[in-house]
Structure 1
Amino acid sequence: MALPPVPLVSLLQKCWRLCLLAFLLGGPAYGAAQSVVFINPGRSSEVYWHTASEAMESAARSLRMSLEVRYAERNPLQAIAIAREIAARPSGSRPRFVILSNDHSVAPEILRTLEAARIDSLMAFSGVPDSQRDALGRPREKFRHWLGSLEPQAQEAGYMTAKALIEAARESRIVGGKDGKLHMLAIAGDRSTPSSLARNEGMRKAVAEAGDVLLEQEVYGEWRRDRAAEQMRVLMLRYPEARLVWSGNDDMAFGAMDAWRARGGSPGRDGFFSAINTSAAALAAMRSGELAALAGGHYLAGAWAMVMLYDYAHGRDFSSEGLELQRPMFVLVDPLLIDRFEQRLGAPHKLLDFRKYSKVLNSRLKVYGFETDRLLR
């Protein structure tokens, strides 16, 4: 016996429901539109950059996007080579988007490469400094496939850690130099990465406001623990009155502390250290008192960039908030905040549902909530 024909309206309704489900879940029908490659500027063994990649992978799983992470191993030439390899792939194998960080000022060459291949890109973590503005212009102008950027407010990180470091030294009533001032050393990241330079600017602002602090010397540790330890050994001999050490990340702070201990010192008692990056080791050092100041939360910048690209791929352009976004992703982690930070942000792959931050999936959401203090609340 022949089955009765299915009404055309019923078939169309069923097709519409399946398409809508694929859209909401990011299924196969939208897989190609949501493929991303992240050119990670750090080392694969580096805690911060590995954590940043983990957060991006969490966002990708949450939003049903595909993510490929390629590490440049702190080699700017390798970052450019990765971009060229991506652009040389057959058209069917190219990603829809590339996320990059402008570490060591690699953006001009990478953007030129991706533009020629017509691959859309988004900068995260580090954007465009004034020195590159003439060469790059603004997003979607000279490079039409450069969609924009998302940066943490890095200057604030340098400022808040330096200020907290100075206050901790004052409260301890540590003996200053013969001039009555607190003598500080600064171990910065590198000379060209925008976020590194912004942290330094924030640190200098805090020193200038303090009035009773002398910044003896600022060196560049290239984000490395071993290099910072080597530099610190020389600086301690050169500036014996220095008791404060500001560092641009946690690895360099640990290197400076290694050198301080090797000389017989005790971090947190006769020397005061600050760091940026909330690694497990940094949180433990803050809890023990070895670190006097710590800021972090910015490792989520890449995950937030994934949210922006998810919305862009589904027709919701982030341009309504601007093309070069900066958000206050840094928080100062004091001893009272450590437990909350570990509970809420210590395992982003387990605790954060990135779907809640998408405008496409939350029609009432008008402004992206990428501020770290919101997550802690």
Structure 2
Amino acid sequence: MLKFVYTFLLMLGAAWGPVAHAESVLFLNPGKTDEAFWISYSQFMQAAAKDLRIDLRILYSQRMPELTVAQARLALQGPDRPNYLVFVNEQYVAPQILRLAQGSGVKLFTVNASLTANQLSLLGERSDRLGSLVPNDEEGGYLMLKELIRQHPPVAPGQVIELLAFSGLKITPSSQLREQGMLRALAEHPEVRLRQVVYGGWSRGRAYEQAKLLFRRYPNVSLVWSANDEMAFGAMQAYSETGGVPGKDALFSGVNTSPAALQAMIDGRLSVLVGGHFTLGGWALVELHDVEMGVDLDQYGGRDRLIPVLQLIDKAHAKRLLAMGASPDYGVNFRRLSAKGRPTSYRYPFSLQTLMR
């Protein structure tokens, strides 16, 4: 594995090249190069970088935290260092990256999953850690189950609605938080019985194999909650093979605004879809560009912020987002979002509504 990591890094290092502008950003993308969510995440960042004239480089770690750390080591201790390193605290890699960054001169910014309270207390204050933008994952998990239950036909007194849940990874903060939100909604509905939570590792194939067993074990399940779209598709495939019709005989939910998920929402196969967090990397670049221009983020909402980007996507939203994805700039003027020269009452309008205007 280690040999593969360094071979992979050498190949990527050749593509890094000299920095073309003073303001350079490297994003360590934790996903795979064929993973719809992380591809869309990178595309939105590229649109922001082009508008803001930022020299952006993106490296994928293929869901291997050891590769993320190796990429960070090369970027932070090699000869061609970026001005800013943006990364995700996926599988809790942040402490290792912060240790590598000491004395490098590179400024750090975390997105999607930031440092935990325990990590922050252990690492202390760091002048090179600029801040973070994370989504409302707990609320997203909550909203998803609440909407599934709302859409389910009412049951007679004494009867129950059976639920299956597909979470991501036990050691991933976003997975943990979405699951907590699901459990909060469940506590508000005693008529719903959670049969089992399984960890599908964000994978369609793994969720499919799990769902084949679970639907045999629990044939009366009529609600299926999934922490991302890929696991929802795996569960839907397994359910279809039992003769059931997703969206009719059982209601399915998922997270992410991939083209496939948006189309499934439009077609009615997905009953509930939550999304919008693919934008966080692009919004982070707006803040980093402002930092470069001398803006103090503490005066405009704080350095570490939870952004309510996860929201319910209805069919009308899905159609607009599908059309928007075909535009290379997403129709957003990122420069106009800057806090530079604005009163301190200004707050960055980081939301899906900014895309929908």
Whether the TM-score (by the shorter chain) exceeds 0.5 is yes
Structure having the higher Rg: 1
Q: Is the 8 A contact 2:44 2:330 kept in 1?
A: no
C-alpha distance in 1 between matches for 2:246 and 2:115: 36
Confirm or deny: 8 A CA contact 1:59 1:303 kept in the other structure.
yes
- 1:73-109: CA deviation from partner (whole Å, max 9, x where unpaired): 001111111001112211xx21000000011111110
Give the alignment of 1:208-247 within 5 angstroms: 208-247=187-226
| CA–CA separation in structure 1 for the residues paired with 2:138 and 2:355 | 21
Q: CA deviation at 1:371?
A: 2.0
- Tell me what 2:138 maps to: 155
**CA offsets per residue over residues 339-363 of structure 1, 9 Å max, x none?**
3333456646241121111122x64
CA positional deviation for 1:333: 0.8
Match of 2:302 among 316, 319, 322: 322
The CA deviation string for residues 274-296 of structure 1, in whole angstroms up to 9 with x for no partner, is 00001111111111111110011
CA distance in 2, matches of 1:347, 1:107: 33
Moved over 4 A (4+): 343-346
Corresponding position: 1:276 with 2:255: yes
The answer (yes or no) to whether the contact 1:108–1:135 under 8 Å persists in 2 is: no
Counterpart mapping for 1:37-56 below 5 A: 37-56=26-45
Kindly provide the CA deviation profile for residues 90-138 of structure 1, in whole angstroms up to 9, marking residues without a partner as x: 1xx210000000111111101111124231110011112334343334x
Cα distance, 1:374 vs structure 2: 4.0
Cα distance in structure 1, aligned partners of 2:22 and 2:112: 23
Take 2:297 and 2:22, find their aligned partners in 1: how far apart are those partners? 16
- Change over 3 Å in CA distance of 1:348–1:181 after alignment to 2: farther
The one-letter code matched in structure 1 to 2:150 is E
SS at match of 1:210: coil
2-side partners of 1:237 and 1:131: how far apart?
A: 41
- Amino acid of the residue matched to residue 228 of structure 1? A
1:310 alignment partner, one of 289, 300, 309: 289
State the alpha-carbon separation in 2 of the partners of residues 31 and 148 from structure 1. Answer: 25
Tell me which residue corresponds to 2:110.
123
**TM-score, L = length of structure 2:** 0.89
Pairwise mapping of residues 35-74 of structure 1 onto structure 2 (< 5 A)? 35-74=24-63
Give the one of 150, 155, 165 matched to 2:148: 165
User: Residue 231 of structure 1: CA displacement?
Assistant: 0.9
Opposite residue 375 of structure 1, the aligned amino acid is L
Change (3 A) 1:307 1:160: same
Q: TM-score, normalised by structure 1?
A: 0.85
Unpaired segments of 5 or more residues in structure 2?
1-18
Distance 1:192 1:347, change over 3 A: farther
Deviations 1:21-80 (A, max 9, x none): xxxxxxxxx964310000000001101001100110111100001000000100111111
Q: Tell me if the contact between 1:40 and 1:49 (Cα under 8 Å) persists in the aligned partners.
A: yes
**1:353-368 correspondence runs (5 A):** 353-360=333-340, 363=342, 366-368=346-348
Cα distance in 2 for residues equivalent to 1:248 and 1:187 = 6
Unaligned runs of 5+ residues in structure 1 are: 1-29
Q: Deviations over 1:183-225 (max 9, x none)?
A: 1111011112222211111111111112211111111111110
Matched, 1:76 2:59: no
Quote the offset at 1:234 in angstroms.
1.6
Other-structure match for 1:351: 331
1:67/1:248 CA distance change after superposition, 3 Å: same
| Whole-Å separation in 1 of the counterparts to 2:116 and 2:143 | 21
Q: May I ask how many residue pairs the two structures share in their alignment?
A: 337
What is the match of residue 113 of structure 1? 100
- 1:161-199 C-alpha deviation (Å, 9 max, x unpaired): 1111111123xx5x78x9511111110111122222111
C-alpha separation between the residues in 2 aligned to 1:300 and 1:59? 10
Q: Which moved more, 1:195-204 or 1:35-44?
A: 195-204
Work out the percentage of aligned pairs sharing the same amino acid.
39
Cα distance, 1:263–1:205 mapped onto 2, change above 3 Å: same
Report how far residue 307 of structure 1 moved: 0.5
